[in-house]
Structure 1
Amino acid sequence: MPAVPRTALYLRVSTAEQKPDLQYDGLRVYAARAGLAIEGEYCDVAVSGRKQGRPQLSALMTAVRNREYDCVLVWKFDRFARSTRHLLAALEEFGHLGVRFISVQDQIDTDSPMGRAMFTIIAALAELESALISERVSAGMKAAAVRGKRLGRPPTSPHVIAEIEALAAVTDLSIRQIHRKIAGRASRTRVGEIAKRVRKADSDPL
């Protein structure tokens, strides 16, 4: 007799006033009907779907990676994923780990032929979205070039570069401290690039 899939529920409500009761009830009824054993429940409250730091979702993903569950059950895609890309990345990881993913309201189960077909469609949509974004960026850059506008960050002056190089070479100041020393005349990222280059060159054997 096959083992009953160890299942985790994931729920999210956008405000503290909203209650996850509808999601809980629906998921529990579905799990009972589908023969799934609920062994964990994760609910993020008052967290936007677009916000990166969802602690309960992070905890769920850690548990999945530790092979604690065989199945993840959600009410709807938009309760789980921030975007098409996020959904695709999660589904790819679940697939790699052999974890089943079910979205009740979307009627998607990755163990079913329809679920696998939907995964292919989602991947195609994500690729299309990426291509459209690239096209818009490219068109914007071409339009700006025609108008004579310079895109990207302004170049760092040779004098500032030399100052950063000297600080990196003769002091043990951190990148944050060097950035503070030059009073914002270059971005912290640029300071880090220069300082790491100088210190790597100094540490390389002759």
Structure 2
Amino acid sequence: MKRAALYTRVSSCDQHPETQVLDLRQMAVQRDYEIVAEYTDKISGTKAKRPGLDQMMADARRGRFDVLLVWASDRIARSVKHFLDVLDELNRIGVEFVSFRENLDTGGPLGRAIVVIIGAIAELERSLIVERVRAGMRRARLEGQRIGRAPLVLDNLAIRQDRQRGLSLRQIAKGHSVSTATIQRELRKHATTPGEHAA
């Protein structure tokens, strides 16, 4: 017997999730699922913070249930991208997704095919984002803009003088707003320079 979790959401506090819950419980009985957890959010679907959904995903990652039942796909996600992300993660951790209204079941062959398509769409979206970033960086370089952090400019003479005055590496690093490793590297680099010891 598969362990099932129910997730329901209603948009405002004056709505009741009981209708959704009854449909999902009936579905679980028909499919011979054992309901081990129920999660509910009374909040707008566009809100990022949803305690019920967050707890459900945390329990899914812990392997607490095998199947997630929802009344409709739009109950679980605040956007198409969010829905794809949730479905992709559930698929990766081996939790089946069943939607009552759309009759979507990722445990069946058609549902698994949909997951593959969704995964391909998500991968395409990630690739497009990476390509847009790279194109933006290429354009910035062509326009003469610097990419990444500006090179570190240090006052080497002042660093050596600080060291000759007996300051510790930590004190010198703090005074020049850099790490002690950077100060060590600079001192080593100039220690081999001809005439350095006469400075």
Question: Residue 35 of structure 2: which of 24, 33, 38 is its match?
Answer: 38
Q: Which residue of 2 aligns with 1:88?
A: 88
Q: Which residue of 1 aligns with 2:195?
A: none
> Any idea what the Cα deviations from partners look like across 1:136-165, whole Å, max 9, x if unmatched?
222222223333333445556547xx8xxx
Superposition pairs for residues 111-150 of structure 1, below 5 Å? 111-150=107-146
My pick for the range that moved more, 146-155 or 123-132, is: 146-155
Q: 2:52 aligns with which of 42, 53, 56?
A: 56
Distance in 2 (CA, whole Å) between partners of 1:17 and 1:39 is: 27
Q: Report deviation, 1:49.
A: 4.9
Partner of 1:6 in structure 2?
3
Identity %, equivalent residues? 38
Report the Cα offset of residue 126 of structure 1: 0.8
Structure 1 Cα separation of the partners of residues 153 and 19 of structure 2: 59
Q: TM-score, normalised by structure 1?
A: 0.62
1:175 corresponds to: none
Give me the whole-angstrom Cα distance separating, in 1, the residues matched to 2:62 and 2:127. Answer: 34
Corresponding position of 1:204? none
Unaligned runs of 5+ in 1: 163-168, 172-177, 186-190, 202-206
Map residues 148-163 of structure 1 onto 2, 5 A cutoff.
148-152=144-148, 154=150, 158=154
**Inter-partner Cα distance in structure 2 for 1:8 and 1:89:** 16
Tell me how far 1:72 sits from its aligned partner.
1.3
For 2:21 and 2:50, locate their aligned partners in 1 and report how far apart those are by CA, in whole Å.
Answer: 18
Output the CA distance in 1 between the equivalents of 2:125 and 2:47. 17
The 8 Å contact of residues 49 and 80 in structure 1, kept in 2 or not, is answered as no
Q: Which amino acid aligns with 2:137?
A: M
CA contact (8 A) 1:49 1:79 kept: no
| Structure 2 residue 66 is matched with structure 1 residue 70 | yes
> Considering only CA atoms, is the larger Rg found in Structure 1 or Structure 2?
2
How far off is 1:25 after superposition?
3.5
> Secondary structure in 1 aligned to 2:145?
coil
1:106-138 Cα deviation digits (max 9, x unpaired)? 322122111111111111111111111122222
1:42–1:56: 8 Å Cα contact kept in structure 2?
yes
8 Å CA contact 1:7, 1:36 repeated in 2: yes
Match of residue 166 from structure 1: none
Unaligned runs of 5+ in 2: 160-168, 186-199
Q: CA-to-partner distance for each residue in 1:7-47, whole Å, 9 max, x for gaps? A: 11012345445543443243233223333232311012326
